[in-house]
A = this chain, B = another copy of it.
Amino acid sequence: MADVARLAQVSQQTVSRVLNDYAFIKPDTRERVLKAIANLDYRPNMAARTLATSRSRTIGVVASDYLSFGPASALFGVEQAASEEGYGVSIVSLRESNRLTIAEALARLVGQSVEGIVMISPQDVSAGAAFLSFENVPVVTLSSVDTGEHTSIMYDSVEGSRAATQHLIDLGHKWIAHLAGPAGFTVSESRVHGWRKALGAAHLVAPDPYVCDWTAESGYVVGKQVLSDPRFTAAYCANDRIAQGLLLALYEAGRVVPRDFSVVGFDDVPEAAYCVPPLTTMRQDFTKLGRRCIEALMARLNGEPPQEADPLLPVLIQRSSTAPAPV
Which residues of chain B come closer than 8 Å to A68, judged between CB atoms? 69, 72
In the assembled complex, the CB of A172 is this many whole angstroms from the nearest CB of chain B, namely 25
Q: How large is the interface on A (under 10, 10 to 19, 20 to 34, 35 or more residues)?
A: 35 or more
Known interface pairs A51-B45, A113-B45, A275-B248; A108-B91 also in contact (CB < 8 Å): no
Among A215-223, A228-236, A310-318, the stretch that binds chain B is A215-223
Q: In the docked arrangement, what's the CA distance between A46 and B111, Å? A: 7
Which residues of chain B come closer than 8 Å to A72, judged between CB atoms? 67-68, 72
In the assembled complex, the CB of A203 is this many whole angstroms from the nearest CB of chain B, namely 35
- Whether a CB of chain B sits under 8 angstroms from the CB of A79 is yes
**B88 and A112: CB pair below 8 A?**
yes
Interface string of A52-84 (1 = CB under 8 A from B): 000010100101000111001101100110010
Which residues of chain B come closer than 8 Å to A112, judged between CB atoms? 46, 58, 88
- Whether a CB of chain B sits under 8 angstroms from the CB of A34 is no
Interface string of A35-50 (1 = CB under 8 A from B): 0000000011111101
- Whether a CB of chain B sits under 8 angstroms from the CB of A281 is no
**A215 and B47: CB pair below 8 A?**
no
**A273 and B80: CB pair below 8 A?**
no
**A47 and B50: CB pair below 8 A?**
yes
**Cβ-closest chain B residue relative to A246:** B274
Known interface pairs A43-B110, A244-B271; A79-B56 also in contact (CB < 8 Å): no
Which residues of chain B come closer than 8 Å to A244, judged between CB atoms? 271, 274-275
- Whether a CB of chain B sits under 8 angstroms from the CB of A131 is no
**A90 and B92: CB pair below 8 A?**
no
Q: In the docked arrangement, what's the CA distance between A275 and B76, Å? A: 27
Interface string of A280-302 (1 = CB under 8 A from B): 00000000000000000000000
**B271 and A247: CB pair below 8 A?**
no
Known interface pairs A46-B113, A50-B47, A113-B47; A271-B273 also in contact (CB < 8 Å): no
**B80 and A216: CB pair below 8 A?**
no
Which residues of chain B come closer than 8 Å to A219, judged between CB atoms? 274
**Cβ-closest chain B residue relative to A257:** B276
**B48 and A111: CB pair below 8 A?**
no
Within 8 A of B (CB), among A1-54: 43-48, 50-51
**A90 and B89: CB pair below 8 A?**
yes
Which residues of chain B come closer than 8 Å to A67, judged between CB atoms? 67, 72-73, 75-76
Which residues of chain B come closer than 8 Å to A110, judged between CB atoms? 43
- State the 8 A-B residue pairs at the shortest beta-carbon distance, nearest first: A216-B274, A47-B50, A276-B276, A67-B72, A72-B72, A79-B93, A47-B51, A251-B276
A-B contact pairs, 26 of them (CB 8 A): A43-B107, A43-B110, A44-B111, A45-B51, A47-B47, A47-B48, A47-B56, A47-B113, A51-B51, A67-B72, A67-B73, A67-B76, A68-B69, A69-B69, A76-B93, A79-B93, A80-B93, A83-B108, A241-B270, A244-B274, A244-B275, A245-B274, A248-B278, A251-B276, A271-B271, A275-B276
